[in-house]
Structure 1
């Protein structure tokens, strides 16, 4: 892990529970590197202009003090500083125009590179933003090999990913700072974004457009891995949940299907086909819970089911009345969904 992304990002991870680093100044993909280039260019130009403003201000104050300390000018007499000041102003206008021209040209070329990002043999992904979680779908020409998961994004290194972005309710914004720039998700419209990761690691994505009460708790765990590791992960995700054999897990599954859980959530291989909430087929393999609100653990899962509003106030998961035994059996079953 790069040294320069420790500190505030690491502290943020401890607070949010979302695995991965978040820094736009530590690019791990082609798109983020190009954005950092224009950011660095802007920093240098604006920094130099700022220092020049301070230098001119200091010079003006110094000359004004000298003029006040000298003899007063006679009527109609011109100051010795008038011509140099006029030349300095003309030079300053030229310098400003040149700086803006460089920024405009640089921005044009970076935007063009981002828009024309190479997407041959791209991994096709559709991400739908909801209040307040992410639905992630990996498309495949064979429908049975498509993958549906939630709040996690896995990408193979050195392969472009063409991501279609949609919103299920209000305007959201998809942003993984280490991999690329922001892209809005607007209801009724499909936007697209290409990411080409170049470094293996875990990164933090988030919604970057205020979308309601729990906007801050709408994170996305992003894992960039080797092609072999990605293929293994994808093949595992295609597998349905194994039918439980332990009596307690069977009881937990029956609670899940018999309660309102199955109306909103889907579990592959079971009679649960809900589309309103996240797909839970491999829930226990995810690093965080409730879109990064907490690191995943059995205790956090139990607390989430028992009282979802205390963990994430305003979310759309209803309270489900269960007895202590039913709750423990349900948590045991969901915790077995690796």
Structure 2
């Protein structure tokens, strides 16, 4: 099942999503109240007494209901909304973790940054963060307008070519939080999912240490390494510590440990990896990876084994 298929938008897991959810419930309650008033006015207009109909159409009620009430209510709502969501635009603490996420057709490029804004580690379609700490996302696009949205952690923000937008997120408890591109970007836009994995601080430190550890021999020189190069995969994909240094497609350095393939549409295991390499166009029509139908079952198995070792 698509891991992005169910996104609980009214179940915030952090302070940024919490303020947005509160404002959403206020707006829903106000909309329900206005709808009830309109229904009551309609009932009076259709079935009310002549005296009630005359009062409903009188100048006092028209001025009060048509001008004074909307101006007062919308002004109060504007002030309340800006006050409630001011944490979305407040500066994150000095030294907060920074990650640059770049929208692509139709996947996400992820780069963990140091304090000088330099990429120290790259990944794709998956972000790992510590709990209880704000994380600053720098959002960009390499092609068309995308929109980054992880409903349980923060609001959504457009990713505009040539512009860098900033969005804070925070998870207050460990978990896996689904996200989705929220701006139509053509082709398989609906299949452009994302995952944020929140770890307890100690677990996050251990996770990052493991990611930065020297690569194993199986990851560098597995039986499928030569086939990976000969098939042209290295022209589009990078695997750290090897000659594969392509930048057109997702970084595959840690693909074996990701939860999904194809930007959230397949569970990640050897079988789905074989299917994705062999015929990605049937799984995600229009994506920019060609189907490798010319490879034999044995070759596909060798490639999948090699990629599964990239932890």
Q: Are positions 1:34 and 2:6 aligned together?
A: no
Correspondence for 2:270:
298
- 1:198 is aligned, of 169, 172, 197, to 172
Correspondence for 1:7:
none
Q: How many Å separate the matches in 2 of 1:17 and 1:83?
A: 56
Larger Rg computed on CA atoms: 1
Correspondence for 2:198:
224
Q: CA deviation at 1:245?
A: 9.0
- 2:138 is aligned, of 143, 164, 171, to 164
**Structure 2: stretches of 5+ with no match in the other structure:** none
Q: CA deviation at 1:89?
A: 2.6
Deviation string, structure 1 residues 130-183 (Cα, Å, up to 9, x no partner) = 011111111125899811111101111111111100101111000000011110
Q: How many Å separate the matches in 2 of 1:33 and 1:50?
A: 26
Question: Structure 1 54/18 Cα, relative in aligned 2: closer, same or farther at 3 Å?
Answer: closer
- 1:62 is aligned, of 44, 47, 56, to 47
Correspondence for 2:234:
262
Q: How many Å separate the matches in 1 of 2:218 and 2:71?
A: 70
Q: CA deviation at 1:83?
A: 5.5
Correspondence for 2:308:
335
1:241 and 1:267 in contact (8 A); partners too: no
TM-score (norm 1): 0.84
Q: CA deviation at 1:127?
A: 0.3
Could you tell which deviates more after superposition, 165-174 or 101-110?
101-110
Correspondence for 1:92:
65
**Structure 1: stretches of 5+ with no match in the other structure:** 1-13, 68-78
1:214 and 1:315 in contact (8 A); partners too: yes
- 2:285 is aligned, of 295, 308, 313, to 313
Q: What SS is found at the alignment partner of 2:144? A: coil
- 2:3 is aligned, of 7, 12, 17, to 17
Q: What SS is found at the alignment partner of 1:90? A: helix
- 2:111 is aligned, of 134, 137, 153, to 137
TM-score (norm 2): 0.91
Question: Structure 1 330/17 Cα, relative in aligned 2: closer, same or farther at 3 Å?
Answer: same
Deviation string, structure 1 residues 26-51 (Cα, Å, up to 9, x no partner) = 11111111111211221222221211
Question: Structure 1 239/266 Cα, relative in aligned 2: closer, same or farther at 3 Å?
Answer: farther
Deviation string, structure 1 residues 78-109 (Cα, Å, up to 9, x no partner) = x7964573333333232222221222212322
- 2:225 is aligned, of 226, 242, 253, to 253
Q: How many Å separate the matches in 2 of 1:280 and 1:209?
A: 26
2:239 and 2:253 in contact (8 A); partners too: yes
Structure 1 stretches of 4+ moved >6 Å: 142-145
Q: Are positions 1:325 and 2:298 aligned together?
A: yes
Q: What SS is found at the alignment partner of 1:146? A: strand
Q: How many Å separate the matches in 2 of 1:57 and 1:254?
A: 75
Q: CA deviation at 1:52?
A: 1.3
2:145 and 2:160 in contact (8 A); partners too: yes
Correspondence for 1:76:
none
2:17 and 2:154 in contact (8 A); partners too: yes
RMSD: 2.4
